[in-house]
A = this chain, B = another copy of it.
Amino acid sequence: MRISVQTAPFDLGEEANAFAAGVAGAGAVVTFTGVVRDLPGGGLQAMEIEHYPGMTEKAIGDIAQQAAGRWSLADVLVIHRYGRLAPGAPIMMVATAAPHRKDAFEAAEYLMDYLKSRAPFWKKELTAEGADWVAAKDADEDALHRW
């Protein structure tokens, strides 16, 4: 299991290959990558992500442990960036490996659902008009109920 909270960009392809190479016998590898999206009307200059050093690593570690206890997983990877990100930049990725596809998919979705609402990150959108904190979505909180 590897968890990295970092400002540096990461390369999806390199991370995915390194992860898959470490779990050659697993059968199923799922990756999710989140990218900074522009605003519906355009005009996003940057996204600024703040986090709670110390708690962030702990919270992600707990979430990953929960996933590992719940599904039969060969490995888990979580990378999450913070700081100032340009539109189109990768924000974060998770990867899961399992003998069967169902476990790999469900664990990846579980990790994402919990990272959204239980890992201490806050996003701010910067435009020419100013800066706005991204509000948490009810749908993201509701997504936790299925687990």
Contacts and interface: CB of A to CB of B under 8 A. Distances in A.
Contacts of A87: 25
A136 interface: no
B13 A24 contact: no
| Copies of the polypeptide in the assembly | 2
A101 B112 contact: yes
Chain A: interface secondary structure? mixed
Given A13-B13, A14-B13, A25-B88, A101 B34 contact: yes
Contacts of A30: 30-33, 108
Contacts of A76: none
A26 interface: yes
B25 A37 contact: yes
